[in-house]
Amino acid sequence: MTDETPFFSAHVFVCTNQRPAGHPRGSCADKGSEKLRDYMKARAKELGIAGARINSAGCLDRCELGTTIVVYPDGVWYSCRSRADVDEILTTHLVGGRPVERLMLTNDQRELRPEQVG
């Protein structure tokens, strides 16, 4: 579509959508996504990851799998539960260039896998 180098080599969107309490789909904000976003921004800065940007996003429509994160232009989706998960995404994917398979979401995924819940 465009021959240019991506403006951000890793453009990360963290869902920070908040639904009303008791909504059957839940929401990423209920699972602590705002704190995870804050941590990810600070940690990416500390690590000095060139060309990375960590953004908030509205509802990414995969609420059951949240906190949901998508990394573009790669198009890799993650479920992220903890600071340790954030660290792994930053160091393995954004720095190392390899996706974190344990945390990745497949397109047809509707529930978290056991290794994503712990």
**Is 26 one of the binding residues for its own copies (CB under 8 A)?**
no
Residue 50: φ, ψ to 5°? -65, 135
Of 38, 74, 87, 88, which lies in the binding site for its own copies, with binding defined by CB under 8 A? 74
**Is 69 one of the binding residues for its own copies (CB under 8 A)?**
no
Residue range at the interface with its own copies (CB under 8 A); choices 22-30, 42-50, 83-91, 104-112: 104-112
Of 25, 42, 45, 73, which lies in the binding site for its own copies, with binding defined by CB under 8 A? 73
Torsional sign, CA 49, 96, 75, 59: negative
Distances (CA, A) of 31 to 2, 16, 21, 24: 36, 9, 12, 14
Q: Which residues pair with 56 in a beta bridge?
A: 14
**Is 106 one of the binding residues for its own copies (CB under 8 A)?**
yes
**Is 76 one of the binding residues for its own copies (CB under 8 A)?**
yes
Q: Which residues pair with 69 in a beta bridge?
A: 14, 78
Can you give the binding site for its own copies, defined by CB under 8 A?
1-2, 4-7, 11, 13, 53, 55-61, 70, 72-77, 99, 104-107
